[in-house]
Amino acid sequence: MFQMSSMASKIKTAVLPVAGLGTRFLPATKSIPKEIMTLVDRPLIQYSMDEALAAGIEQFIFVTSRGKNALEDYFDRSPILESVLVERGRDDLLETVRDISQDSGRIAYIRQHSPLGLGHAVWCARHLLGNDPFAVILTDDIIQSDQPALGQLIEIHNETGHSVVALTEIDPTQSEHYGLVKYSHTDGSVVAIDALVEKPPPTEAPSNLAVIGRYILTPDILQSLNGIGQGAGQEIQLTDAISLSITNGYPVKGLLINGTRFDCGSKSGYLHATLAIAASHPTLGQAFRRIIRDLQGPHTQPTGQS
Ligand code: G1P
């Protein structure tokens, strides 16, 4: 669990686009939202929530779609469950369950009626965003780090007042899975971005620095979202709107994140995250590492089976 950042943050609101159908995880996602799937001992969405709360976020806008009601229930109070846990004297579980439920009004749920892209999902939140900078968290991207990745971005935003996007270095052959940045200047891990390109083929990639799912955006982005059409994959791309903001004179920084990012949008990335998080888990880690060692050994059958 992250420690609360001591630095006062101006970023109080986070948008979480969670409208995706999760088709890569069918059949599980036929009846539950992907964000509720368990990663070791918590639903995927809880990781984003914990990271955001640790970075000082106070209000959340979930951009949802049909079939995502389980997300609202997850963050709601659960009176019957809580009274059963009280009766059974399970104070530990009671505390866990109560910690998850957020105060009334802290999470707003709005719907994206059609899957028109990440930029469109953020645009759906426009009436709730006002004129303040805000965060965007893509829940598929799990980032293991000492300081929450969002907190790292907020520090750079507080220093510069600019939009800041999270970056990582990628294998250039993977460029078609990411938004990539064009830049000419870096200062340590901070990159002055000239433009962004969504999912280019390797031959057209402007660099090997890719955007990962954490953004601090200044409100000009909503204007830019109004001014762009469909981009890569025939979707309204957030990347294109950020690029347009730069063209319109709003500087954007990239920050190479100090941490490890897992892409839980793919089965292999999800398994990788499961292994890494389980192996470093404070209570399950030791036993889990033993299981992995045993699986790697010559005898992979559990004891007692032939
Ligand atoms: C989205 C963004 C892309 C970014 C990626 C990071 O793509 O559009 O720019 O690099 O998230 O995970 P998606 O993975 O939703 O296709």
| Residue 297: predicted pLDDT | 78
| Residue 105: predicted pLDDT | 86
How far is ligand 1, taken at its centre, from the CA of residue 170, in Å?
13
How far is ligand 1, taken at its centre, from the CA of residue 201, in Å?
14
Tens-place pLDDT, residues 116-127: 999 999 999 999
Q: Which of 110, 109, 118 is nearest to 141 (CA)?
A: 118
Atom of ligand 1 at shortest range from CA of 239: 9
pLDDT less than 70: residues of the chain:
1-9, 298-306
Residue nearest to atom 6 of ligand 1 (CA): 212
| Residue 89: predicted pLDDT | 94
Structure tokens at 4: 């609360």
How far is ligand 1, taken at its centre, from the CA of residue 87, in Å?
46
Name every protein residue with a CB atom under 6 angstroms from any ligand 1 atom: 118, 138, 141, 178-179, 198, 210-213, 237-239, 265
| Residue 227: predicted pLDDT | 81
| Residue 3: predicted pLDDT | 46
Backbone Cα Rg of the chain:
20
| Residue 134: predicted pLDDT | 98
Atom of ligand 1 at shortest range from CA of 210: 10
